[in-house]
């Protein structure tokens, strides 16, 4: 008897949690960026554009990266209705080599609590070495 009562209640709660995340994900035009292969020391920056589609203000409580290979920055922490902003992802190509993957976690606290993962990946390589000195073609 208790099980029959609790099952629909639990399913309804899970559905509400999924819906709560859905509105936050819809704010972002894209949620992943593959930089491909970039040379060490080159500038690699991407803006995850977002638009507040809610009738209430949207506020970012925190932003973190899973890897030191990417530094995230919030552009406009609070957005009014239909306001635009971005999460800026800066690849630290001067400090890391090889394949890197990072997840930027955007935590929102208004109007509802939600988390949106933004994925960044790329392969950093050493820049081609330049030959200096005399060059003989024959």
CATH number of the structural domain spanning residue 118? 2.60.40.10
What stretches of 30-118 show up as alpha helix (H) in DSSP?
A: none
Residue 13 confidence (pLDDT) = 44
- Residue 64 included in any domain: yes
- Residue 134 included in any domain: no
- Residue 130 included in any domain: no
Question: Residue 20: which domain range?
Answer: 2-125
- Residue 17 included in any domain: yes
Q: Could you say which DSSP state residue 28 is in? A: B
Average pLDDT over residues 99-103: 94
Q: How far apart are CA 90 and CA 119, in angstroms?
A: 12
Average pLDDT over residues 113-119: 98
Residue 118 confidence (pLDDT) = 98
- Residue 135 included in any domain: no
Q: How far apart are CA 101 and CA 118, in angstroms?
A: 11
Average pLDDT over residues 82-103: 93
What is the tens place of the pLDDT at every residue in 9-28? 444 444 444 455 799 999 99
Residue 105 confidence class, pLDDT cut points 50, 70, 90: very high
Per the structure, how many domains does the chain have?
A: 1
């Amino acid at each position: 008897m208790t099980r029959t009562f609790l099952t629909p209640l639990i399913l309804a709660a899970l559905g509400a949690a999924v819906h709560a995340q859905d509105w936050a994900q819809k704010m972002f035009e894209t949620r992943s960026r593959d930089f491909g292969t970039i040379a060490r020391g080159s500038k690699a920056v991407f803006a995850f554009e977002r638009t507040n589609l809610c009738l209430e203000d949207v506020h970012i409580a925190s932003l973190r990266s899973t890897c030191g290979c990417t530094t995230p920055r919030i552009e406009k922490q609070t957005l009014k209705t239909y306001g635009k902003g971005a999460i800026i992802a800066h690849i630290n190509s001067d400090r890391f080599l090889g394949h890197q993957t990072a997840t930027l976690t955007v935590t929102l606290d208004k109007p509802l609590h939600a988390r949106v993962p933004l994925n960044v990946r790329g392969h950093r390589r050493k820049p081609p070495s330049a030959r200096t000195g005399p060059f003989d073609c024959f």
